Structures are given as C-alpha cells and as structure tokens.
Amino acid sequence: MVKSKAYAQAGVDIDLGNSVKSQLPKLLASTHRPEVLGKVGGFGGLFALKISQYKQPVLVSSVDGVGTKLKIAFALNKHNTVGADLVNHCVDDIAVLGAEPLFFLDYIGTGKLEPAVFQQLITGFAKACKENNCALIGGETAQMPDFYAPGEYDVSGTIVGVVEKSRMLDGKGIRKG
C-alpha cells in the first residue's frame, strides 16, 4: 500500500497499469509456441529450446525501435502498425543472418498509459509475432510522468532466434549481379 501511494504521488497509475495488463495473457498466449513455459507476469519469459533439433545451434539476438515513424503514428492516432512494424524490423534483423525467430519481448515507455493506444500496440506485436511464428513472451511498460510529451511514447523490441551454425549467412557468398 505504501509503495502504491508513492507511485501515485509520482504520477504513476498502478491500478490503470494492472487493469490494462489484465487483458494480456490471452493475447500473448495466442502467439505461443510449444516451447514457451510459464505465464505472463513474471520477471522474465521462459522458452525451452529443443536443442536436439540442432547439431550446433547459434542463438541470434537483436534490439530495435521504429524511430521517427512514431511521429506519424502520433499524428494519425494509429498505433497497431507501430507494434507490427517493430516486430518485423527485429525479424528482418536476424533473418539476414539466417535465423528463425523464436521469441520477442517489447518495451513501452510513456508519460501516461493510454489504454486504447496500449491495446493497439500489443495487438500489433501479437499479430506480427503470429505471422512470423515468434512467441511474444513478455515485456515492460514504464509510466514516466513528465518524461514524454502528452500522447507520446517510445517502443523497442528484443528478439531471439536460432540458426544452425553451418547455415549462418555471413555475406561472403554475395556476388554482383
């Protein structure tokens, strides 16, 4: 109770955050692969890689954002494309190395949590994760009053994939033409 009061005095609405996040388990579960363990809401996502499928598995990771595309989303009040765009950026970043996406985690930072915007972002993440056979296993939502302009936020995503060492793409085979 004391902790919640301190957050409220700082402008962070814990109850709103909990209410908005209560809708996540079903949406995230719709992206899960059989390797996903645990439940939404822990301090980390769990993924049991079926290592026996590989001779020499190499994990590939990437972190990305969407940059100035956010300004367009703010102007048009359209945010579901931001979530999908971010996942697809991350998938592309590891695909160029030959990796299959395994799982994705998101970060949303905002001054004030707007439920409709949050829902659009998460729906976009989930849609793109499903399309890429990539599990959305967790994330972080940070409410930071007075840090962002009203109605604005920032997002980033982290993806982890796997590639067989012998199938890694390194650009050495690229030729003109």
pLDDT tens per residue, range 26-53: 888 889 999 999 877 777 899 999 999 9
Q: What is the CA radius of gyration of the chain?
A: 18
Can you give the pLDDT at residue 11?
A: 65
CATH number at residue 115: 3.30.1330.10
pLDDT tens per residue, range 92-144: 999 999 999 999 999 999 999 899 999 999 999 999 999 999 999 999 999 99
1 assigned to some structural domain = no
172 assigned to some structural domain = no
112 assigned to some structural domain = yes
Q: 120: domain range?
A: 9-167
Neighbouring CB atoms inside 10 A of 96's CB total 12
Q: How many domains does the chain have?
A: 1
2 assigned to some structural domain = no
89 assigned to some structural domain = yes
3 assigned to some structural domain = no
